[in-house]
Amino acid sequence: ARVIDMHVVGTAVHLTHLLSFNEGQTKVLRVTSLIDKMDQAMREKANSLAVTAKACMLAEKFVKENYGSHYHAKGQNLGRKLTLEYDHALDEFDILLMPTTLTSAPKQPGPDASKTDIVRAAFGSIQNTAPFNVTGHPAISIPCGKTQDNLPIGVMFIAKKNDEKTIYRTSYAFRTKF
């Protein structure tokens, strides 16, 4: 077993990236025609966005207006450290294994749920998955069992960058064995 110390800040780092989408992340391809369409949709149809998208946009605006680019820069710096820690762990191991979520599947908000409950449900279980949105390591979650309440339990495999083949083979082997 190996502990990756930076993992505990992975969700916060992911959120700084999420909240600074318009700052221009260095690791993502920017398709200008898609961005133009998204900008047009934002002007014409913003009210039809999901509550979670609106929450992120409001948070991004708040952070930008009150803190400038400070947290975006901090998130970028921490993201590099997080990436290096996973790279080092994957120098030691072919694949990393962890639970997909820290708890069993939460109950989904109903049609009359408050906006707060919807946002909380959307972001409440991302502690183990969010770091890989920052680092770019391929990760996959597959079912591995059920709780006593018949809720799904997932296991997640993480591989070196550009090594999706390893997580697919591992996932297939795991599913056929268990």
Does 108 have pLDDT greater than 70?
yes
Does 142 have pLDDT greater than 90?
yes
Dihedral sign, Cα of residue 169, residue 101, residue 159, residue 94: negative
Question: How much is the pLDDT for 28?
Answer: 62
**pTM value surpassing 0.85:** no
Burial class (CB in 10 A: 0-12, 13-18, 19+), 26: exposed
Q: Long-range contacts for 129-132 (Cβ within 8 Å, ≥24 apart)?
A: 129/100, 129/101, 129/156, 130/10, 130/11, 130/14, 130/15, 131/6, 131/7, 131/10, 131/11, 131/13, 131/14, 131/82, 131/86, 132/158
Question: How much is the pLDDT for 123?
Answer: 85
Residue keyed to tokens 């998955």: 129
Residue keyed to tokens 């200008």: 32
Question: How much is the pLDDT for 73?
Answer: 87
Q: What is the mean pLDDT of residues 125-154?
A: 92
Question: How much is the pLDDT for 21?
Answer: 57
Q: Where residue 48 falls among pLDDT bands split at 50, 70, 90?
A: confident
Number of helices (H) and strands (E), helices first, in the chain?
7, 3
pLDDT in tens, 21-41: 555 555 667 788 988 988 898
- Cα(64)–Cα(139) distance, integer angstroms: 31
Question: How much is the pLDDT for 72?
Answer: 83
The pLDDT mean for the chain works out to: 87
Does 66 have pLDDT greater than 90?
yes
Which residues 6+ apart lie within 8 Å of 154 measured at CB? 99, 100, 101, 141, 142, 143, 144
Question: How much is the pLDDT for 112?
Answer: 94
Q: What is the mean pLDDT of residues 129-144?
A: 93
